[in-house]
Amino acid sequence: INIPRGSGGVKPPANSIGFWGAKPPTPTFPLHPARPLCIIPRLNRGSFMPDYDFIIIGAGSAGCVLADRLSRSGKYQVAIVEAGGSDSHPYIKLPIGYGRTFFNPKINWKFTAQPDAGLAGRAAYWPRGKVLGGSSSINALVYCRGLKHDFEDWAMPGWDWPAIQTAYREIETRIAPDGTQSGTGPLHVTNVARRAHPIKENYLAAGRALGLPISDSFNGDAPEGLGLYEITTKSGMRHSAAAAFLRPALKRPNVTLIKNQLVDTLTFTGARATGLKLASGQTLTARREVILSAGAIGSVQILQRAGIGPGATLQKLGIQTRIDNSNVGGNLQDHLGINYYYKSTVPTLNNRLAPWWGKALCGVQYLATRGGPLSLSVNQCGGFVRAMPGSGPADTQLYFNPATYTTAPDGRREIINPDPFAGFLISFQPCRPQSRGRVDISAPAPEAPPLINPNSLATDHDRAEVLAGARLVQRLMATAPLQAITKAPLGPTPDQLDDAAILADFAQRGGTVFHPVATCRMAANAETGVTDARLRLFGATGLRVVDASSMPNLTSGNTNAPTIMLAWRAADLILADQA
C-alpha cells in the first residue's frame, strides 16, 4: 500500500464461497465438520487430492505468480492455500477504491504494531491484504521496479541487475499514455500521465525550477527525477496479482485453490518439509516442496509456529525449536513517510470527489468510459531525487497528490473521504533506511496477532534523511509554480519548523508507508539470513520462502513490483531444481 501518513493524528486512506464451474466432487480426505474447506478445483476437472507436488501458502503478490509459473507446463499438481477469500468486492476492482478497503476487516488483516519509541511511542496501523491477490488487491497501485543500485546491494548470485531487468520485461505489458502497448507480459502497467490532474504541471515546473531532472518513466532507463507514477490497471480496473496471474492458473486442471483457511504449522519428516496442517485440522502433503508466500508478517508467523526462529522466544511460548535462527522475523525494514497538506487556490480532486453529487458524476463517467478520477490512483505524481548532500544515488521518494483528507475519518466509520475544500499534499519518504526491527509471534495459536516492532528512526542516518527530505519539500514549496496554487498550509510544514521540530513532527505524525520486507531475508548463510540465493530455507529441505520477506534489503520505492519480480525469478529457480 502506498498512502503516506496524514496530519494531526489523522489516519491515512482507506467471502464469498464459490466454485469456478460445476459442483465439485467429494474430497478424498476428511473435512473438519466445523470449518469445511473452501476449495476451487481448476474448473473442477479432476478430483481433490490429499497431496500435491507444490503447496504454496498465500495467494498474494508472490503466491499468485508462483501458482501461474509452476503450473504452466501441466507437469505438476499445484495447491494454493489462502487465509482470505474472494477478491470480487467492487472497491477492489475500482482503482481509487482502496480508500474503502483500507480498514475493511473482511479483506484486510488490520495489524497493529507495538508502541514505537522512534515514533513518539505510537502504535502504528499496519494493513495487509487478507484476500486473493493479497496486498496487490488493496494497495494504491503504484508500480515501481526499484533502482539499479537497490539490486546491486542485494549481492546475491542470480539476482544481478540484468537478470532482474529481464524478469521485469517478461512480466509487464506496458500501456503508453496514448494507449499503445509494448511487451506481452501478464501484468498490465499503465502510464496515466495524460489523465493526471492538471496541477501536475505546477509540480513538474517546481522541480525544473530547482534543477531537478524530469523522468518520463520511473521504470525506464532514466528513473531518477520527478514525474508521474505508472499504475497496475487494465481497461480502467485494478490489475492485481490475482487478476494477472492467479485467474489464468485456475483455468488449468492441475491447480487447486483452497481459500478462507489459516495455516497452523508445517509438517516434517526429519529435516524435510512434507506439507502443512491447517487451523481447521486437515493436513496437506507436498511431494516436492512447500513454498511460503504469506508475506513479511505471515511467513514469519508460520515458520515460528513450526519451531523455526529464535529458540529462546519459541521456548517461552512452549514451541519446540526445530531450527534456531534469530533471523526469522529479524531485519525488518520499512519505508516511513509524512504528508504536508495545503489548501489550494485552484480546484483539485477534492472539488470533484468530496460532494455526493461529484462522486455520482465521476461514477457515471467511470461506468461509461472506464476513465476519470475513479480509474486512477490518488498517488499521481512523485519521483526519486537526491535530498542528502553529495553525489550518491537517489535517497528520497516524493509524492504529490491532488487531494487532501485531513477531515476524512468521521468517527463512526474508518473511511477515507477528500476534504470539502480544494487542497493538495506533498510527501516524502527516505528510500533506504538503515533501521531494523522485528516480527515475532505472540502465541502459538494461528489466530494470535503478531508482535511487530518496527524500531523506526533508530539511526543517525535515518534521522538525517528525514531532515533532508523535509528541507527538500520546503524548497519545492517555495518555488513560484507551487506558490501560485498554495492558499495556506494545513498543519505544520517544514518552513515553520527548525530541525528539532521537524524530527519531533515526524515522530508525531509520520509512519509506515506499508512496505515491510526482509524478515526472512536471503543471505550467504544462516548467520545473516534465512534462505539462500535460491530461496531455500537454511537447515531444511523441501521448503522455500518466496515473498517480500525474502528480499535482502528494502528497495528504493514501492515494493509490489519487486515482490512480483522476485516470485517470477524464484519460479525459474524452483523449476530448474526439479531435475
Torsion angle of alpha carbons 367, 372, 376, 382, nearest 10°? Answer: 180
The predicted model gives 69-87 an average pLDDT of 97
CA 100 to chain centre: 17
Burial of 33 (0-12, 13-18, 19+ CB in 10 A): exposed
Residue type present at position 157: P
> From CA 514, how far away is CA 494, in angstroms rounded?
23
Of the candidate ranges 127-131, 170-174, 414-418, 511-515, the one whose mean pLDDT is the lowest? 414-418
* 82 half-sphere exposure, CB direction, 13 A CA radius: 32
Tens of pLDDT, residue by residue over 231-276, are: 999 999 999 999 999 999 999 999 999 999 999 999 999 999 999 9
* Mean pLDDT value across the chain: 91
pLDDT of residue 416: 73
Of 47-61, 311-325, 328-342, 464-478, the poorest mean pLDDT is in 47-61
Opening angle at CA 73, ends 19 and 175, nearest 5: 75
- Band (pLDDT 50/70/90 cuts) for residue 111 is very high
Whether the Cβ atoms of residue 570 and residue 546 lie closer than 8 Å to each other: yes
Residue 38 confidence (pLDDT): 54
48 confidence band (pLDDT: 50, 70, 90): low
Pair 128, 297: CB distance under 8 Å: yes
The pLDDT score that the predictor gives to residue 518 is 98
Mean pLDDT, rounded, for 541-566: 98
Regarding beta strands 237-238 and 233-234, do their DSSP bridges make them parallel or antiparallel, or are they unpaired? antiparallel
pLDDT score for 415: 62
DSSP 246: I
- CA neighbours closer than 13 Å in the CB half-sphere of residue 533: 9
Number of C-beta neighbours around residue 61 at 10 A:
32
Per-residue pLDDT, averaged over 29-38, amounts to 41
Please check whether residue 344 is in contact with residue 333, taking contact to mean a CB–CB distance below 8 angstroms.
no
Per-residue confidence (pLDDT) for residue 425, from 0 to 100: 97
pLDDT over threshold 80, residue 473 = yes
d(CA 292, CA 377): 30
Write down the pLDDT at residue 378. Answer: 87
**Pick the catalytic residue: 89, 197, 335, 515?**
515
The arithmetic mean of pLDDT across residues 52-64, rounded, is: 98
Question: Has 149 been annotated as catalytic?
Answer: no
Tell me the per-residue pLDDT of 361-411, one tens digit each, with 9 for 90 and over.
Answer: 999 999 999 999 999 998 999 999 999 988 689 999 999 999 998 875 544
Is the pLDDT at 167 greater than 60? The verdict is yes
Burial status of residue 527 (CB atoms within 10 A of its CB: 0-12, 13-18, 19 or more): exposed
Contact between 193 and 228 (Cβ < 8 Å): yes
Count of C-beta atoms within a 10 Å radius of residue 304: 24
Report percent pLDDT > 70 for the chain: 90
Full-model pTM = 0.91
